[in-house]
Structure 1
Amino acid sequence: MQIGSYAFAVAAAYLGAAIYIGFVEHPARLKLGTSAMVREWAASDHRGAILLTTLSLVSASLAFVHCRFGGDVRWIIGGLAILTSWPYDYFVLVPVSVWLCAVPPEKDSAPARKLMRDWGLLAWGYTLIGLTACGAFAWALEQPP
């Protein structure tokens, strides 16, 4: 039971970070001028990706260990749900990120602002992934087999 609680707590931290990106960081970034916005995004995107990747890996690992010893498949469901952040990031957000990295930071451009808005909308997928994993873990914690 203890390992499952840790998996849930780490998934909740992932969810909190994703919500912070959507409600606080990205809206504040959009208030900047285009060149400052792109520079700020470039600096924070790398650190944010490392944070979310680490949290998802730790949460999934704990969930898989708990399933191994507890035998409840709901932990695998939650672990796989939070691991979907990796392909989601690679196939959905990285293409937009590549285009954003190609924008010269000193240039004020409308396409960069549109790409940044698109990136912000797509980043809400992290929140959905976190909610799904937390829901599966909460279900497994609340109704043990």
Structure 2
Amino acid sequence: MEFGAIALAIMAAFTGAALYINIVEHPARRVFLDADMLAQWQRSYPRARRMQEYLVMAGFFFGMVGLLWTGKGLYLTGSLFTCAIWVVTRKWIMPLNTTLMATNAEDADAGIRALLEKWNILHVVRTGLGFLAVLSFFAAL
């Protein structure tokens, strides 16, 4: 079994989902008033979080199994990019998520909109790391 191909497929799914959020979902939110923008994000976030965290964990796992199975260093590189997604999320995105989830949508203002824009920029970083993991896993194959 080619574990690297599984890691590639999983991280391609993650990257596609992350890219969708960056180029479709978040830009669509921008047309809303502040309260509605936050309310839509709050409804979307829990489902997206679960989906993406499982994809990242599985991508890392199968990348490491691919490394052990084949000894190709690019699987380690891809796994490290995958791990970096987790680091960026825990260090910079989760504090924003906590603030955004704790804010009552009716209390949203321009400051909340600015936090959502900052969240999107950090999400672009996650998307880029996912893309680098995909490239690494693809090159290892």
Q: TM range, normalised to the smaller chain?
A: over 0.9
CA contact (8 A) 2:38 2:108 kept: no
How far 1:101 sits from its partner (Å)? 2.6
Report the residue type matching 2:86 in the other structure. Answer: W
Residue 76 in 1 paired to residue 39 in 2? no
Q: Secondary structure at the match of 2:105?
A: coil
Identity of matched residues, %: 30
Report the residue type matching 1:80 in the other structure. Answer: L
Runs (4 or more) in structure 1 with deviation over 6 Å come to none
Question: What 5-or-longer segments of structure 2 have no aligned partner?
Answer: none
Question: What 5-or-longer segments of structure 1 have no aligned partner?
Answer: none
Bigger radius of gyration, 1 or 2? 1
**Aligned-CA RMSD value:** 1.4
1:28-81 CA distance string (max 9 Å, x none):
112112111111111211211111111111111111112112111211111121
Q: How does 1:1-145 map to 2 (within 5 A)?
A: 2-141=2-141
The TM-score, its normalising length taken from structure 2, stands at: 0.92
Report the residue type matching 2:56 in the other structure. Answer: S
Distance, in Å, in 2 between the alignment partners of 1:103 and 1:31 is 20
How many residues of Structure 1 are paired with residues of Structure 2 in the alignment? 141
How far 1:108 sits from its partner (Å)? 4.5
